[in-house]
Amino acid sequence: MRQFIRISATSIRMALQELKVNKLRTFLSLLGVTIGIFCIVAVSTVLDNLEKNIRTSVAALGNDVIYISKWPWMDEGGEYKWWEYWRRPVLRYRDLKAIEQQGQTVRYTTLCFSENNITARQSQYELEGITAYAVTNHFEKMQNFEIAEGRYFNPSEVEGGTSQVVLGHEVARELFPGIRNPSGKTVAFLGRKFSVIGILKKNGDNMAGFNFDRGLIIPFLAAASIKDVTALDADITMMVKAKNGISTDELGLEAEGILRAQHRIQPGAKNDFSINELSQVTAQLDSMFAMIDAVGLIIAAFSLLVGAFGIANIMFVSVKERTKIIGLKKAIGARRSVVLTEFLIEAIVLCLIGGLIGIIIVWILALIMTLAGFPVTLSLKNFVTGISVATVVGLLAGYIPARSASRLDPVVAIRST
């Protein structure tokens, strides 16, 4: 053990000496390893954080909610037949009531009509490209948003279709600059004036496709009195939340049966609606992430291959430069295993230096992204992965030069020039 520690210390000292004496040559040799480890750790770190954010978003929205509309989120049977889905009837208020009254697995239901790219006006301020969400009761129980100022609708206001509105964070900030709580003021959109009763906290996009920051919420019946919410191009989604202990499969089957009866669909005929779940999106994203991960690993593998050749080259040069020293060591009794171990450790140390540089670059970029508002964390698992890969590359790249050094004839080595 003592001998191994001494050999390791000597090898590390020689590796650092190589860095000091031949800076450019060593830097170019380490560059491939640095890029390869950077690719592996960076791809793994980004994908891990994306997956974590997705899981968090799904957990926040709930994995016990189904989303029913005329449009499926994914293709049904290999091809997305939009021309068929477009002809489907939109969901209506009576469909919502049918599921509310007949559903045995249902805890909450709500209907949401979305109108995109509307323009809202207030005094001298105007904001374009925002989305109005017209909702029924229980919408706040299905979506993950909070009230920053003012309040949300009460049931009677929703059922009565009052001209009141809850503004998203960015909408409120741009329409009412400098005003913390604009409750009681009016905003005009969709050809009508609405009284502001609340402001949402900053939220961002969610997995269900809602962007509440650049949106506003009004009662469904208020929108129905302005727009034709039964038109073919109306964007209406019904959200149904399951009772405790009920799976989304059970909930979906019951909702499907109720809606088929409501729409008078004959046995054997296709549904004229689609039942979507957030798990469909996460499954698709998992597949996409796996592909990105594979591409990143292929790129990293080529970089590491180049890096391995670079390390092997610098080790061959090192053996050549120290041939006489190796001959003297073997002449005074150094075994082959000692020489082999010494050069292997030196190769591993060089690879670890290159790998650490790559990991440090990932850490710096993660810190910059976090400060910019996109939290990214370099996990211990990815750090250990990077170090482990660098060690293996050093071991493989250094073996042949180390082996050739260990097999040198002492007499020939000492006489070499």
Question: Does one domain contain both 254 and 305?
Answer: no
Phi-psi region of 204 (alpha: psi -120 to 50; beta: other; left: phi over 0): left
Rounded distance between C-alpha atoms, residue 23 and residue 17, angstroms: 10
Residue where one domain finishes, among candidates 253, 272, 291: 272
Residue where one domain finishes, among candidates 272, 296, 313: 272
Q: Please write the tens of the pLDDT for every residue from 370-409.
A: 888 778 888 888 889 888 888 888 888 888 888 887 787 7
Question: Does one domain contain both 250 and 315?
Answer: no
How confident is the model at residue 207, as a pLDDT?
A: 64
Provide the residue range defining the domain that includes 306.
2-57+283-415
Task: Give the whole-number percent of the chain exceeding pLDDT 70.
Answer: 89
Question: Does one domain contain both 393 and 368?
Answer: yes
Assess whether pLDDT exceeds 90 at residue 58.
no
Q: Please write the tens of the pLDDT for every residue from 138-169.
A: 998 888 888 999 999 999 999 998 999 999 99
The answer to whether residue 83 sits within a structural domain is no
Compute the average pLDDT of residues 49-59.
73
Question: Does one domain contain both 347 and 303?
Answer: yes
Question: Does one domain contain both 97 and 23?
Answer: no
245 CB-contact burial (10 Å; exposed 0-12 / middle 13-18 / buried 19+): exposed
Rounded distance between C-alpha atoms, residue 81 and residue 270, angstroms: 13
Q: Please write the tens of the pLDDT for every residue from 240-288.
A: 999 888 888 899 899 999 999 999 988 888 888 888 887 777 777 777 7
Assess whether pLDDT exceeds 60 at residue 233.
yes
The answer to whether residue 77 sits within a structural domain is no
The answer to whether residue 73 sits within a structural domain is no
Question: Does one domain contain both 392 and 360?
Answer: yes
The pair of three-digit structure tokens given for residue 125, joined into one six-digit string: 């301020």
The answer to whether residue 74 sits within a structural domain is no
Question: Does one domain contain both 298 and 224?
Answer: no
Assess whether pLDDT exceeds 60 at residue 18.
no
Question: Does one domain contain both 300 and 255?
Answer: no
Question: Does one domain contain both 251 and 306?
Answer: no
Q: H or E stretch including 410?
A: helix 410-415
The answer to whether residue 408 sits within a structural domain is yes
The answer to whether residue 82 sits within a structural domain is no
Task: Give the whole-number percent of the chain exceeding pLDDT 90.
Answer: 26
Compute the average pLDDT of residues 15-32.
68
How confident is the model at residue 112, as a pLDDT?
A: 92
The answer to whether residue 68 sits within a structural domain is no
Question: Does one domain contain both 165 and 210?
Answer: yes
The answer to whether residue 341 sits within a structural domain is yes
Q: How many CB atoms lie within 10 A of CB 213?
A: 19
Mean pLDDT (the chain) is: 83
Question: Does one domain contain both 144 and 224?
Answer: yes
Number of domains into which the chain is organized: 2
Please give the residue that has the higher pLDDT: either 123 or 25: 123
Question: Does one domain contain both 363 and 389?
Answer: yes
How confident is the model at residue 151, as a pLDDT?
A: 93
Q: Please write the tens of the pLDDT for every residue from 174-206.
A: 999 888 888 889 999 998 999 999 999 988 766
pTM recorded for the entire structure: 0.69
CA nearest to 347, candidates 321, 318, 327, 326:
318
Residue where one domain finishes, among candidates 245, 272, 299: 272
